[in-house]
Structure 1
């Protein structure tokens, strides 16, 4: 069952339960997935990684909106955005912990050192980031990965 199908099934259940807030949030998430399918010159099917990326973008958008509402002294709207972000986040894969992320960064640094024959420098940060991001596949925030790689190279 694809992520979109799971969202649709849960939306139908929420409709039957008359949970209007959940229905609205799930409809927005399904809409974002459908928009991504038809974006570009031709329609395409989304892979699971594409679906996860779209949902991560939706969560990030809602958290940014919540921060803007908080800064604008609108806590009720910020709470609504955070609640929507929490609902969408339930459909994302579990995030990696700090220890797991540190281990992945260490493995990629060791691989880069073995390939180059010397300890990697900040010049290789981009290549190491690319390798780590490919392995975490949406289970860690990009800024957290960048911070870990930068700290390991320093």
Structure 2
């Protein structure tokens, strides 16, 4: 079942349950998917990779808004953002733990034959593609630096 179909089903459920925060988050996801369909060069169906990127973008926006609202002592708005973040997380792939991330990056370093910090770009390019959606770029970058500097 595509993400779009899942979202439509979840929207119906949220409407029946009268869950306002969940409904707002699901509608935001649906809106982003519809926008992706109307972009230049878009096809009728979105790839799973594109769907994950959309979800990650929405999650990141909510997280940044949440942090701003916390700094401004707006707990009411922060709570809304946090609730929406949790709904979006349901559709994202399970993130890697720090140990799993280090394990994956170590395997890539061995496969690519990287041995020094000079190979950072080569490893980063492959790692970010392979681990997309399961770890953010900053975490991947830190793991690659740490393992190449050993």
Where does residue 106 of structure 1 map in the other structure? 106
1:26 aligns with 2:21: no
Where does residue 95 of structure 2 map in the other structure? 95
1:135 aligns with 2:118: no
TM-score, scaled relative to structure 1:
0.89
1:12 aligns with 2:12: yes
Task: Give the distance between the partners of 2:69 and 2:50, measured in 1 at CA.
Answer: 29
User: Residues 108-123 of structure 1: matches in 2 within 5 Å?
Assistant: 108-113=108-113, 119-123=114-118
Task: Give the distance between the partners of 2:41 and 2:131, measured in 1 at CA.
Answer: 29
Task: Give the C-alpha shift of residue 126 in structure 1.
Answer: 1.5
Task: Give the distance between the partners of 1:84 and 1:139, measured in 2 at CA.
Answer: 19
Task: Give the distance between the partners of 1:28 and 1:78, measured in 2 at CA.
Answer: 17
Task: Give the C-alpha shift of residue 21 in structure 1.
Answer: 2.1
Q: Which runs of 4+ in 1 moved over 6 A?
A: none
User: Residues 62 and 81 of structure 1 are in contact (CA less than 8 Å); yes or no, is this contact kept in structure 2?
Assistant: yes
Task: Give the C-alpha shift of residue 102 in structure 1.
Answer: 0.9
3-state SS of paired residue (2:115): coil
Task: Give the C-alpha shift of residue 122 in structure 1.
Answer: 2.1
RMSD: 1.3
Task: Give the C-alpha shift of residue 94 in structure 1.
Answer: 0.7
User: Residues 112 and 120 of structure 1 are in contact (CA less than 8 Å); yes or no, is this contact kept in structure 2?
Assistant: no
Q: Deviations over 1:58-112 (max 9, x none)?
A: 0000000111111222122112111111111111111111221111111111122
User: Residues 14 and 23 of structure 1 are in contact (CA less than 8 Å); yes or no, is this contact kept in structure 2?
Assistant: yes
Where does residue 146 of structure 1 map in the other structure? 141
Gaps of 5+ in 2: none
Number of residues of Structure 1 aligned to a counterpart in Structure 2: 148
TM-score, scaled relative to structure 2:
0.92
